[in-house]
Amino acid sequence: MSQYGKMADMELVAYLATQDHAAFTEIYDRHWRSLFVYAQIILKDKEEAADVVQDIFTTLWNRSADLNIANLKSYLLIAVRNQALKAIHKTNRADVYAAELAACFDRDACNTDDAFNLRELCSIIDRAVENMPATMRAVYIKTKYEELSHQSIAEELGITEHSSRTMLNRAMNSLRTKLSPLLSLLLFFCKI
Domain boundaries, the chain: 3-91, 95-191
Can you tell me the distance from the alpha carbon of 131 to that of 123, in angstroms, rounded to the nearest whole number?
13
- Domain boundaries 95-191, CATH class: mainly alpha
Percent of the chain's residues with pLDDT above 90:
21
Q: pLDDT confidence of 190, banded at 50, 70, 90?
A: very low
149 or 104, which is more confident: 149
- Is the model's pLDDT at 172 over the cut of 70? yes
Domain 3-91 has CATH 3.40.1160.10: no
The distance from CA 155 to its chain's CA centroid, rounded to whole angstroms, is 39
DSSP state of 26: H
SS (HEC) of 112-174 = HHHHHHHHHHHHHHHHHHHCCCHHHHHHHHHHHCCCCCHHHHHHHHCCCHHHHHHHHHHHHHH
Can you give the pLDDT at residue 5?
Answer: 83
Q: Are 132 and 174 in contact (CB under 8 A)?
A: yes
Q: Look up the pTM and report it.
A: 0.50
Can you give the pLDDT at residue 162?
Answer: 93
- Is the model's pLDDT at 54 over the cut of 90? yes
Can you give the pLDDT at residue 25?
Answer: 92
**Any long-range contacts for 170-178 (C-beta under 8 Å, 24+ apart)?**
170/136, 171/129, 171/132, 171/136, 171/137, 171/139, 171/140, 172/140, 174/128, 174/132, 174/136, 175/125, 175/128, 175/129, 176/95, 176/98, 177/94, 177/95, 178/128
Each residue of 4-53: pLDDT tens digit? 888 888 899 999 899 999 999 999 999 999 999 888 888 888 999 999 99
Each residue of 146-162: pLDDT tens digit? 778 889 899 999 999 99
Decide: helix, strand or coil at residue 102: helix
Cα angle 76-36-7, degrees, rounded to a multiple of 5: 50
